[in-house]
Structure 1
Amino acid sequence: MPDTPGDISELVATDACWLPRRDRSPAMARRLLRDLLGRVKGGERFREHGELVLSELATNAVLHGTRSDQLIWVGLRVDPDRLWIAVEDPSSAQPRLCPTADGESGRGLYLVDRLSLSWGCGPREGIGKRVWALVGPEGTGSAGQA
């Protein structure tokens, strides 16, 4: 039986922030993710896919889920097996997945679907929705299921 780790902060970390409806918000969310992954042993294994998924979810929230005076919320959690990403916005409009990446819109969720172990959408407390995704370490394969 393995020993209990002395410092669990090396294995699990969380972070969250509120972001404005601005073009730079997805980049700010990616910076938050990079900082989080840098604090966790092995966190770099989630960086490439995690940044792409987070960027798409944050971009969708900024473009489609908010007005100019509203904020989005980004929540992150990483452990040795997976990265959990959640983005909340005040809109109740559900995201729509296009079956392929060939259309003019919907390519972001196609990427989220392909790069995530799983993803989904549900109501958040109050008004609006939470779109979430679970991302595995790169090289483990993704389910691509909603």
Structure 2
Amino acid sequence: MPQPATRASRTGSPRYSETLPREPGSASTARRLVRAACAAWRLDDLADDGALIVSELVSNAVRHARRGSIRVVVERHEAACVRIGVVDFSKAPPVRRVPGTEDEGGRGLALVTELAEEWGSDPLPWGKRVWAELRGREVGLARTAG
């Protein structure tokens, strides 16, 4: 199994990232990555929502993207703000649907909308990044800068 890479981004914010195969089982690895990042940053209150969000974003990438891999990135931009992103090789932006009562799917982005502070999609030269931000409590975070 690939090991997650941990490094500071160009903006100096801490991040965890991992390239995963574009297959349903990668959602489990992505959830572990989000939980590990939240634990490292003492943002445990964001771990459950973050795990649900990354599951939905990975599932969408598995269903709609091209090529054999995706990249999951978890960044901490502020003391209590985590951004979860999934990068894939499809340029088609995500579309939030309104599923019918009989539909088995189509509820993922509605769930992301409910859980995240905000979410969006950034076009990239080779595909896109779909991201969601979570905000947690800032209590006792001054000593956990990295």
TM-score greater than 0.5 by the shorter chain: yes
- Partner Cα distance (1:65, 1:118) in 2: 22
Alignment deviations for residues 96-117 of structure 1 (CA, whole Å, 9 cap, x no partner): 1124684443200110011111
- Partner Cα distance (2:100, 2:53) in 1: 15
Q: Runs of at least 4 residues of structure 1 off by over 6 A?
A: none
Counterpart of 2:87 in structure 1 is: 88
SS in 2 for 1:106: coil
SS in 2 for 1:92: coil
- Partner Cα distance (2:79, 2:15) in 1: 13
8 A Cα contact 1:85 1:133, kept in partner: yes
Alignment deviations for residues 47-76 of structure 1 (CA, whole Å, 9 cap, x no partner): 111111111001111111134xx2101110
Structure 1 runs not aligned, ≥5 long: 1-11, 139-146
Q: If each structure's strand is expressed as a fraction of its own residues, which one has the higher value?
A: 2
Output the amino acid matched with 1:64.
H
TM (normalized to structure 1)? 0.76
Alpha-carbon shift at residue 77 of structure 1 (Å): 1.2
Alpha-carbon shift at residue 36 of structure 1 (Å): 1.2
8 A Cα contact 1:101 1:110, kept in partner: no
Structure 2 runs not aligned, ≥5 long: 1-12, 138-146
Counterpart of 2:134 in structure 1 is: 135
RMSD: 1.9
Counterpart of 1:16 in structure 2 is: 17
Alpha-carbon shift at residue 39 of structure 1 (Å): 1.1
8 A Cα contact 1:96 1:106, kept in partner: no
Following superposition of structure 1 onto structure 2, how do residues 7-86 of structure 1 map, counting pairs within 5 Å? 13-41=14-42, 43-67=43-67, 70-78=68-76, 79-86=78-85
Alignment deviations for residues 5-27 of structure 1 (CA, whole Å, 9 cap, x no partner): xxxxxxx6410110111221010
Moved more, 26-35 or 98-107: 98-107
